[in-house]
Amino acid sequence: MIQYRTEHDSMGEMQVPADRYWGAQTERSRLNFPIGVGQETMPREITHAFGLLKRAAAEANHLLVPARMTEEKRQAIAQAAGEVAEGLLDDHFPLVVWQTGSGTQSNMNANEVIANRGNDIAGKKLLHPNDDVNMSQSSNDTFPTAMHIAADLALEDKVLPAVDRMIAALQKLEAENEGIVKSGRTHLQDATPIRFSQEISGWRASLQMDREMLLEAAGFVRRLAIGGTAVGTGLNAPAGFDREVCRVLSEVTGKAFVPHENKFHALTSKDELVVAHGALKALACDMMKMANDIRWLASGPRLGLGEITIPENEPGSSIMPGKVNPTQCEQVTMVAVQVMGNDTAVSVAASQGNFELNVFMPVLAYNFLQSARLLAESLDAFRERCVEGIRPNREKMAENLTRSLMLVTALNPYIGYENAAKTAKLAFAENITLKEACVKLGFLTPERFDEVFHPEEMA
């Protein structure tokens, strides 16, 4: 049987599960928003970011207003907040995304958990959630700050390392396949020759460009709203509070967090996250294209292009024995679709809110962090279980190259564009070689054709 204790807030008393550190305001939110429970809990990245933030705020308050934030209080908050940041108290954060658009209840969830856990640590009633843990802060500046902390850590510690690992894998694949010439394709039609390493280099360069954009976007995200309090004026926050919080956060995380120069902007505009998610979307677009290229090249095994082989990871059909599908390519493309959809949610959420506050922040954070998490995990799975196992089918590449009518492009300087077109059309119509067609039309002698026609040099 669940045991309860009595907690109170400015609206009165609430019965709270006795084995949980949250308090009255968290319990009100838990009861008032039974939406997506167990499925769409506030992202743990936000919970952990609040732990980092509350510790940094306590350190800053102790430096700036030590009479109010005593050493004893600082220590209790720092230890409790550290446990939150490390994920040790995740079970004490039950609230869902679909709550107040400012994230107020999630801020209070952090305040209450840290206060009650800190009181346990101190062995007495030492901390108040509002007066101590939330000192010099407002939900209106802490939630956007936690969003930015979580977003930057996701970009720098999850997405970018996964991108780097994929780039390294592609560089290795590129080197291994240097010198293999195959048919290029445009519009899903035969085109002039290309080296397989050049094709891979296009994938690699796309990810390197995405990496540059993500790094630049992370610089915008590291600008924090903390210090703006309720409407951007900094009411009830001591001078220099924002700088000290950012200093501590930077020391703890190793990231270069700085106070946003305009708190009125920081509270109401979310354009930094829009830009950062745009970079995530660009990465998703490039991964979609790369995965599609790979599954086209691996199509078959006998009736498709069949120019590469990819790892066989699991049976592909419950009815067709021996069938194997490009499942890693499929997970990448589904993740890309989700990220593209999330980008719409992020964009719409960022455009909303009125006057001094955006009130679509939880849904923005939810979609942003899902995109980052999915892309990082998708990239690693795709690399480990597909890309690193790509092998060229040299015989099929050579066969397709030899049969390509677009090799006729090499004859343009010798017989002209229109005669080259006639050569290609005759070869296709009569199912003969380009050489046979060119000689039959009288454009070149067999000897001259052999002299000028070198497909391997076209790449």
For 17-64, what is each residue's pLDDT tens digit? 999 999 999 999 999 999 999 999 999 999 999 999 999 999 999 999
At 191, the amino acid letter reads: A
Please state, in angstroms and rounded to a whole number, the distance separating the CA atoms of residues 25 and 139. 13
- How far from 455 is each of 27, 183, 404, 431, CA to CA, in Å? 73, 10, 10, 19
Return the pLDDT at 91.
98
For β-strands 223-224 and 258-259, DSSP reports them as parallel
Please state, in angstroms and rounded to a whole number, the distance separating the CA atoms of residues 416 and 408. 10
Return the pLDDT at 458.
87
Please state, in angstroms and rounded to a whole number, the distance separating the CA atoms of residues 37 and 375. 25
Which residues, 6 or more positions from 278, have their beta carbon under 8 angstroms from its beta carbon?
213, 217, 343
Please state, in angstroms and rounded to a whole number, the distance separating the CA atoms of residues 72 and 398. 75
- Cis status, amide bond into 301, omega within 30 of 0: yes
Do 92 and 159 fall into the same domain?
A: no
Residue ranges, the chain, pLDDT below 50: none
Return the pLDDT at 456.
80
How many distinct structural domains can be found in the chain? 3
Please state, in angstroms and rounded to a whole number, the distance separating the CA atoms of residues 76 and 270. 33
Return the pLDDT at 459.
85
**Mapping DSSP to helix (H, G, I), strand (E, B) and coil, where does residue 305 land?**
coil
Domain finish residue from 75, 101, 135: 135
**For residue 125, what is the domain's CATH number?**
1.10.275.10
Do 390 and 409 fall into the same domain?
A: no
Where on the phi/psi map is residue 135: left (φ > 0), alpha (ψ -120 to 50), or beta?
A: beta
Domain finish residue from 106, 135, 164: 135
Any bridge partners for residue 391, and if so which? 309
Domain finish residue from 340, 364, 395: 395
Give the domain extent around 319.
148-221+261-395
> 234 in a domain, yes or no?
no
Tokens standing for residue 363 = 């849904």
> 251 in a domain, yes or no?
no
Please state, in angstroms and rounded to a whole number, the distance separating the CA atoms of residues 319 and 323. 9
Catalytic machinery residues: 187, 317
> 91 in a domain, yes or no?
yes
Kind plus residue range of the DSSP H or E element containing 421:
helix 417-430
> 310 in a domain, yes or no?
yes
